[in-house]
Structure 1
Amino acid sequence: MADRSFLDWPFFDDRHRALADEIDGWAAGHLGGVDHADVDAACRTLVSDLGAAGFLEHTGAEDGKLDVRTLCLIRETLARHEGLADFAFAMQGLGTGAISLFGSSDQKAQWLPLSRSGKAIAAFALTEPQSGSDVANSTMTATRDGDAFVLDGEKTWISNGGIADVYTVFARTGEAPGAKGLSAFIVPAGIDGFEVTERLETIAPHPLATLRFSACKIPASSMIGNPGEGFRIAMSVLDIFRPTVGAAALGFARRALDESIGRVAKRHVQGAPLSDLQMVQGHIADMALDVDAAALLIYRAAWTKDMGAPRITREAAMAKLFATDRAQEVIDKAVQLHGADGVRSGHAVETLYREIRALRIYEGASDVQKVVIARQTLGG
């Protein structure tokens, strides 16, 4: 049983505690048999189920106010039970985050009800082959053509690529060099000039793809916000969702700690449980410390945003960096404590070992987060 004492911290309201109970009960009853053999089908089912249960309502808001503590609690809980469920939930929020925060009333009315009900799968298309974390170096273009824009370029490592119904796409409209010349667009799947050119396989299978846009014409009304605001839109969305990446890592770490506590209590060496060994106790202590410290940083960032801070760049970077890096350490210790079982394919901690690694890369790699923290700190 995962530790839930953190829910008594002053970061949370009663509604958060009630939601934590609700999502934990739902996950325990619905996520025991997710089939990873076909991740596309699994993700479609998970999005549909999460929508039917009402949890996707928290991923979009017509008034642009997303409750970050709620997003973090849901991601942490889902990740603790099933990593693919966390992925399915998170992408609905990230994929439509720009619409929630900056979309027009018509854009919100068209897409948010579909994504929150699980009837449309969303994706966030920012990364390009030559510009991963360097968003300002994006080269994909959106050229004005009367009452339309024509998209040309490529995006890669796009989560939900190939199964999404709608993509938030960032492209260069050229108002200024670098970051100030990007804009954001809503692109529905299946339109002319848009194709999925490659499906990408990773150590923890998820729907990922490379996308190509070739003379892909979309209405001018597809632009989110104003021309040249794409970088600001992308960073505002990531400000909200970076702490939730840390929350997912925290869920993985809590599961690893729980599995390890069970292991060392039941496994005996020379007539005594492993938990009697001081070395093992030291590992458990380190794991518990990392879990609590990560939770404090995550929910500080989430609370700060929910209390009205316009930006939480520093807090979000700290939360993501620490939580993902320390979760990697926690899970590595769990593998060690499980011995040969820890590397047995299909074992819970082996699955966690594969799941955690990508979280230290996507939505800003760990080294990039250090740069962000340093600049924010040096800049006062």
Structure 2
Amino acid sequence: MPSAQDAPGERPPGRAPLASLTPEQRAWTATLRTLAARRLRPLAEAAEPGRVNRPLVAALGEHGLLARLFPADGVVRAVDLCLLREALAQECTEAETALALQGLGAHPIAASGTEEQRARWLPEVVAGRAVAAFALSEPEAGSDAAALRLRAEPVGASGPPGPSGASNPSGWTLHGEKQWISNAPEADFYTVFARTRPDAGARGVTAFLVPADRPGLGGRPLRMLAPHPVGLLTFDGVPVGPDDVLGEVDGGFGVALRTLDLFRPSVGAFAVGMSRAALRVALAHAGERHAFGGPLKDLQAVSHQLADMATRTEAAALLVHAAATAYDAGEPGVAGRSAMAKLYATETAQYVIDAALQIHGARGLEQGHLLEHLYREVRATRIYEGATEVQRTIIARELYR
């Protein structure tokens, strides 16, 4: 991706370090930015757009970033995830996205998988050898995830009755489609959410770990606004068994919600990173570009806009870090805080990047310019992992809880 046009780790002029970060955290994020700019960005630039970048994923493993995401003690920390995503996003959005997708696809295994599932897949994910994917969305079930239709049809019966009163099957076959799935159809395994109880809403969904080589599993890539690896998956009688269940049968919606509660603030962190990159180039351009007898920064219309961009970015960052800290501390109201962080930070990033583009004028629209790149990148953040409107619904519901 295009450079943010300043030295990695350098703060924008006139901005003090965030009070919410320790000196150690600030040093770590500066190191991450340097790594992203020098080691990861060249791998991103050399790759084919719209495909899984396996050398980049391998580099995330080689440099220990995936190990930081999935530490040896098994506890995924929201603060570390947010700092990783914010720092990488400032220098290489492709690296940020590759790391986030590894986390999103593999977190259900870390949090809800069996010892055997974790032993089989997590070392491969941490090393950057296995590419993960989180398969929740469907053609008719995007924001309303409880409406998903992918069917898990039972095969045989064994054991005591399940939550619905019916006998537990000895296995299932999956039938239907998933759509807008990041890393599909090139991932090595998928966390797949399927309906095991018809007409049961959120209570009839089970999470399955589905390796990519299962018979009946197919798919094709989709071309999106930003050229990421996103695709459609087809399930034509894909076999899964009790050993593939993540968590409990019919408990998959909880697996999905716990994953999204962790990752929603980090989507906000991604947005904050992009906001910071856009603000830096806007500050540089406004200081160097002359019009109407002086630099753009001396025009009140421009200087006030820069002030608003900086203020909203800092507010978004503080909201993200507060939500992540609350998650790690196990505080109540995490769902509402996560939704607030994701809502405000992504809407802010859209505003900041658009304003930076306006300050640049036509040059910011040139293909290959950082702002042209960020303008395409930022739009999807207001949709995936719960659209802006869904976040407002979650926040309002939590206010009355």
Scaled to the shorter chain, the TM-score interval is: over 0.9
Partner of 1:307: 329
Aligned-partner residue type, residue 159 of structure 1: S
- Is the 1:62–1:108 contact (alpha carbons within 8 Å) kept by the matching residues of 2? no
2:145 to 135, 144, 147: 135
1:19 to 7, 14, 28: 28
Task: Tell me, yes or no, if structure 1 residue 170 matches structure 2 residue 210.
Answer: no
Aligned-partner residue type, residue 154 of structure 2: R
Partner of 1:182: 205
1:232-311 aligned at under 5 Å gives the runs 232-309=254-331
1:231-263 deviation line (CA, Å, top 9, x unaligned): 111000000000000000111100000000010
- Give, in whole Å, the separation in 1 of the partners of 2:113 and 2:171: 17
- Give, in whole Å, the separation in 2 of the partners of 1:31 and 1:163: 21
Unaligned runs of 5+ in 2: 1-9, 157-169
Partner of 2:40: 31
Partner of 2:115: 105
1:301-380 aligned at under 5 Å gives the runs 301-309=323-331, 312-379=334-401
- Give, in whole Å, the separation in 2 of the partners of 1:19 and 1:144: 49
Task: Tell me, yes or no, if structure 1 residue 210 matches structure 2 residue 232.
Answer: yes
Aligned-partner residue type, residue 377 of structure 1: L
Structure 2 vs 1, CA of residues 358 and 279 (structure 1 numbering), >3 Å: closer, same or farther?
same
- Give, in whole Å, the separation in 2 of the partners of 1:240 and 1:340: 38
Question: SS in structure 1 opposite 2:153?
Answer: strand
- Give, in whole Å, the separation in 1 of the partners of 2:78 and 2:12: 21
- Give, in whole Å, the separation in 2 of the partners of 1:27 and 1:358: 22
1:140-151 aligned at under 5 Å gives the runs 140-146=150-156, 147-151=170-174
- Give, in whole Å, the separation in 1 of the partners of 2:39 and 2:333: 36
- Is the 2:51–2:228 contact (alpha carbons within 8 Å) kept by the matching residues of 1? no
Give the superposition deviation at 1:150: 1.1
2:94 to 80, 84, 92: 84
Task: Tell me, yes or no, if structure 1 residue 70 matches structure 2 residue 77.
Answer: no
- Is the 1:301–1:319 contact (alpha carbons within 8 Å) kept by the matching residues of 2? yes
TM-score, normalised with respect to structure 1: 0.95
1:311-346 deviation line (CA, Å, top 9, x unaligned): 610000000000000110000100001011111111
- Is the 1:59–1:92 contact (alpha carbons within 8 Å) kept by the matching residues of 2? no
Structure 2 vs 1, CA of residues 311 and 187 (structure 1 numbering), >3 Å: closer, same or farther?
farther
Aligned-partner residue type, residue 166 of structure 1: F
- Give, in whole Å, the separation in 2 of the partners of 1:185 and 1:205: 28
Equivalent residue pairs, number: 377
- Is the 1:36–1:42 contact (alpha carbons within 8 Å) kept by the matching residues of 2? no
- Give, in whole Å, the separation in 2 of the partners of 1:96 and 1:258: 33
Identity of aligned residues (%): 43
Aligned-partner residue type, residue 307 of structure 1: A
- Give, in whole Å, the separation in 1 of the partners of 2:112 and 2:175: 23
Task: Tell me, yes or no, if structure 1 residue 44 matches structure 2 residue 51.
Answer: no
- Is the 1:239–1:311 contact (alpha carbons within 8 Å) kept by the matching residues of 2? no
- Give, in whole Å, the separation in 2 of the partners of 1:36 and 1:358: 23
Give the superposition deviation at 1:166: 0.8
Unaligned runs of 5+ in 1: none
- Give, in whole Å, the separation in 1 of the partners of 2:16 and 2:141: 38
- Give, in whole Å, the separation in 2 of the partners of 1:123 and 1:211: 11
- Give, in whole Å, the separation in 1 of the partners of 2:258 and 2:240: 24
1:160-210 deviation line (CA, Å, top 9, x unaligned): 0022101000001118710000010000112101001x3111111100001
Structure 2 vs 1, CA of residues 229 and 105 (structure 1 numbering), >3 Å: closer, same or farther?
same
- Give, in whole Å, the separation in 1 of the partners of 2:223 and 2:91: 23
Question: SS in structure 1 opposite 2:392?
Answer: helix
- Is the 1:236–1:311 contact (alpha carbons within 8 Å) kept by the matching residues of 2? no
Give the superposition deviation at 1:25: 1.9
- Is the 1:186–1:223 contact (alpha carbons within 8 Å) kept by the matching residues of 2? yes
Give the superposition deviation at 1:62: 6.4
Structure 2 vs 1, CA of residues 261 and 101 (structure 1 numbering), >3 Å: closer, same or farther?
same
Partner of 1:93: 103
Question: SS in structure 2 opposite 1:374?
Answer: helix
- Give, in whole Å, the separation in 2 of the partners of 1:115 and 1:274: 47
Aligned-partner residue type, residue 81 of structure 2: L
- Give, in whole Å, the separation in 2 of the partners of 1:63 and 1:99: 14
Structure 2 vs 1, CA of residues 37 and 18 (structure 1 numbering), >3 Å: closer, same or farther?
closer
Structure 2 vs 1, CA of residues 351 and 222 (structure 1 numbering), >3 Å: closer, same or farther?
same
- Give, in whole Å, the separation in 2 of the partners of 1:329 and 1:323: 10
- Give, in whole Å, the separation in 2 of the partners of 1:104 and 1:124: 18
